[in-house]
Chains A and B, each alone.
Chain A
Amino acid sequence: MEFFFQQLTNGLAIGGIYALVALGYTMVYGVLKLINFAHGDLFTLGAYLGFTLLTTFTFQEKIGPLPTIFIFGIIIMGLVGIAGIVLERVAYRPLRSADRLAAVVSALGASIVISNSIMLIYGARFQVYPHDLLPQITLSIFGMKVPFLRIAILFLSIVLMVILYLFIQKTKIGTAIRATAIDHGAARLMGIDVNKIISIVFFIGPALGGAAGFMVGLYYGELNFMMGWVYGLKAFIAAVIGGIGNIPGAMLGGLLLGVIESLGAAYISTAWKDAIAFFVLIIILIVRPTGILGERVADKI
């Protein structure tokens, strides 16, 4: 039983990161019906920006590590958010009226540009975050040893997601985003500035991805310019499983993928872990093609 719960916590922690990254995919898809393949690389950008900030500014001695991380986190979210807006302006807006396929190719191209730029700037070798920034406390819950940081990451991910959900549901801008996601034309008729809304979405989604990147860098310590590829792919799949375009769906999909991966590895075989996880997900999609929380888009008459 202890083994099961230990693996469950492992899976939830991994899934929390997938969920945060999946949110970016799902928001962009909801509003633009476009899979932003460059999202994984914005995640990588967040991790590397965190590395630069931590190695150039060393005022953790003055303030202490936790406030520094908090401040840097906000800065990184802002910077990656701006990168997201730039990405949208450069790679997607000009193609808004073109064929869907053109935008997909543009997204893939943007992904390659960003990941290679990171490689050229930071070098092809691994970079490592400074050690000993965060307290390495291990809590003992029900006899299991759980590093405090894992719980912190999961907790933070959930908090960010709840804030996002409330923002989308309860604020005026959130309502405007939901309106734009349903139909651009109708939203314009209601007086919504669609371009501005899209830019806002491209700020929030990548900001969350960047935050996830920063957390991954802090927790796992090791960066390389291709790290976004695996996370991006899995987060995209998590978003689809939960129902693409649906925010709670992305969160659910991410957590579910993390847990299935962990339990599959634990009880069947670690070598086949990915195959098992994706096999289960294929089954889920066959049973519910729109994803678990996916909504049926109303047909136009």
Chain B
Amino acid sequence: MFKKVVGLVVMFSLCLFTLAFAKSTIKIGLMCPQTGNWASEGLEMKRIVTLLAEQINNKGGVLGKKIEIIDEDDGGDPRTAALAANKLVTRGIVAVIGTYGSSVTEATQNIFNENKIIQIANGSTAIRLTEKGYKYFFRTAPRDDQQGKVAAKAIKKFGFKKVAILHDNTTYSKGLAEETKHNLEQMGGFEIVFFDALTPGERDYTTVLTKLKAAKPDVVFFSGYYPEAGILLKQKKEMGWDVPFIGGDATNNPDLVKIAGVEAAKGFYFLSPPVPQDLDTPEAKAFLKAYKEKYNELPGSVWAVLSGDALLAIVKAIEGTKSTDPDKMANFLHYKLKDMPGLTGKISFDEKGDRVGDLYRVYMVDENGNFVIQP
């Protein structure tokens, strides 16, 4: 009898304890590709968000409570992401950061929106995502209509006339390819000699490259992701073909040089928001220093840094509305958050949830495999 009472008391106090413990943190979800083709992006996203959360918690947290980051792996795949999103929704999060890859984000938008959870995507630039009227969806990444314009301008500036456009059929890639084509056609004076897609996830693209070569372009614009871009560059060199390639912002990742090899990657151009080593706000510099101290290297991907900005925006919204109510936070983010100093510059969102501002630059890979910004 005595044992039973003790047992009950222990259980009861444990329950109270965990309940009290649970109440005292603010849970923010992080959905990122920890496995799959884009695992290097997911790894950096997780590192950056956890480091930032630690820094914020060390300064006292938000509204007196500590932030708890709950992360789930979306595998870089829409189906896995939908499962991850469903899991996160049951964990009591007030907002979620993620993810990289527009098609992956798209699979989860509905789930989060229906459950009234603020979602801020960091690596999804497809235009469609903010055209659906989802009130709780935002992004710290720029948008592909902006990118398409910059791409067309860059092609014009380089003086290329015959353009081949290659994409990989994903939401983001096809959208960007079409935007660029549209812009080139509007500007006039260009001939689009090739517009087709490759199958992502494969290893051998010599067939596509041979076909591209036969179309005799002056330049090839590839709007797909960095794994395929790396293989394309490597195999193009093996074929002995040296037409310049320009990549979209998803080709921006240090693994590109790793896969292609420094020799093949040399001279490759791509568009991107400023890469981490070119970020020049004081907040960015301080954060990068702290990151380097903890992990012994600088982050390679600006998309991961944008996930840090997403966390900052969420925290600002909680502080600004003194609550974690989704409608109040959404309202704040849409209308009251103006020019918040973030890691990648000033952050504001418009009524659709897009990031305001003009971020894209042209980069080139030099002979040491470094990304060098072009004027």
Interface residues of A (CB under 8 A from B): 3, 6-7, 10-11, 13-14, 119, 123-126, 128, 131, 136, 138, 145, 147, 216, 220-222, 224, 226-227, 230, 261-262, 265-266, 269-271, 273-274
Which B residues are in CB contact (< 8 Å) with A265? 207-208, 211
CB-CB nearest 8 A-B residue pairs: A271-B197, A124-B39, A124-B35, A220-B203, A265-B207, A10-B206, A262-B207, A125-B39
Please encode chain B, from 59 to 85, with 1 for each CB lying within 8 Å of some chain A CB and 0 for all others.
000000000000000000000000000
**B5: Cβ under 8 A from any A Cβ:** no
Q: Across the two chains, which residue of chain B brings its CB closest to A10?
A: B206
Contact indicator B36/A271 (Cβ below 8 Å):
no
B318 to chain A, nearest CB (A): 32
**B185: Cβ under 8 A from any A Cβ:** no
In the complex where A124-B35, A221-B234 touch, is A227 in contact with B169 (Cβ < 8 A)? Answer: no
Q: Across the two chains, which residue of chain B brings its CB closest to A262?
A: B207
**How many angstroms from the CA of A226 to the CA of B202 in the assembled complex?**
10
Q: Across the two chains, which residue of chain B brings its CB closest to A261?
A: B207
A261 to chain B, nearest CB (A): 7
Which A residues are in CB contact (< 8 Å) with B169? 271
**How many angstroms from the CA of A14 to the CA of B205 in the assembled complex?**
10
A207 to chain B, nearest CB (A): 21
Contact indicator A222/B227 (Cβ below 8 Å):
yes
**B277: Cβ under 8 A from any A Cβ:** no
A135 to chain B, nearest CB (A): 12
Contact indicator A220/B204 (Cβ below 8 Å):
yes
Query: Which of B34, B169, B196, B210 gathers the greatest number of chain A CB atoms within 10 Å?
Result: B210
Picked from A6, A138, A269, the residue with its CB within 8 Å of the CB of B238 is: A138
**B261: Cβ under 8 A from any A Cβ:** yes
Which B residues are in CB contact (< 8 Å) with A124? 34-36, 39, 43
30 contacts between A and B (CB under 8 A): A3-B214, A7-B210, A10-B204, A10-B207, A11-B207, A13-B206, A14-B204, A124-B35, A124-B43, A125-B43, A125-B255, A126-B259, A128-B258, A131-B261, A136-B238, A145-B239, A220-B203, A220-B234, A221-B234, A221-B259, A226-B201, A265-B211, A266-B207, A266-B210, A269-B196, A270-B198, A270-B208, A273-B199, A273-B207, A274-B199
Q: Across the two chains, which residue of chain B brings its CB closest to A275?
A: B199
Contact indicator B207/A220 (Cβ below 8 Å):
no
**How many angstroms from the CA of A224 to the CA of B43 in the assembled complex?**
16
**How many angstroms from the CA of A126 to the CA of B197 in the assembled complex?**
23
Contact indicator B259/A222 (Cβ below 8 Å):
yes
Which B residues are in CB contact (< 8 Å) with A222? 203, 227, 230-231, 259
For B, the interface residue count at a CB cutoff of 8 angstroms equals 33
Contact indicator A216/B203 (Cβ below 8 Å):
yes
Query: Which of B207, B227, B258 gathers the greatest number of chain A CB atoms within 10 Å?
Result: B207
Q: Across the two chains, which residue of chain B brings its CB closest to A132?
A: B261
**How many angstroms from the CA of A125 to the CA of B254 in the assembled complex?**
12
Which A residues are in CB contact (< 8 Å) with B259? 126, 128, 221-222
B45 to chain A, nearest CB (A): 13
**B240: Cβ under 8 A from any A Cβ:** yes
Picked from B196, B201, B230, the residue with its CB within 8 Å of the CB of A230 is: B201
Contact indicator A226/B36 (Cβ below 8 Å):
yes
Known contacts A7-B207, A220-B203; 13 further A-B pairs (Cβ under 8 A):
A13-B204, A14-B207, A124-B35, A124-B36, A126-B37, A126-B40, A136-B238, A145-B239, A147-B238, A226-B201, A270-B211, A271-B197, A273-B199
Which B residues are in CB contact (< 8 Å) with A269? 196
Which A residues are in CB contact (< 8 Å) with B37? 126, 224
Q: Across the two chains, which residue of chain A brings its CB closest to B262?
A: A131
**How many angstroms from the CA of A224 to the CA of B203 in the assembled complex?**
11
Interface of chain B residues 205 through 227 with chain A (CB within 8 A): 206-208, 210-211, 214, 227
A114 to chain B, nearest CB (A): 15
Query: Which of B40, B169, B204 gathers the greatest number of chain A CB atoms within 10 Å?
Result: B204
Q: Across the two chains, which residue of chain A brings its CB closest to B201?
A: A230
Which B residues are in CB contact (< 8 Å) with A125? 39-40, 43, 255
**How many angstroms from the CA of A230 to the CA of B200 in the assembled complex?**
11
Contact indicator A270/B36 (Cβ below 8 Å):
no
B205 to chain A, nearest CB (A): 9
Which B residues are in CB contact (< 8 Å) with A216? 203
Which B residues are in CB contact (< 8 Å) with A119? 35
**How many angstroms from the CA of A116 to the CA of B169 in the assembled complex?**
28
Q: Across the two chains, which residue of chain A brings its CB closest to B238?
A: A147
Contact indicator B240/A6 (Cβ below 8 Å):
no
Which A residues are in CB contact (< 8 Å) with B258? 126, 128
**How many angstroms from the CA of A131 to the CA of B259 in the assembled complex?**
10
**How many angstroms from the CA of A64 to the CA of B44 in the assembled complex?**
38
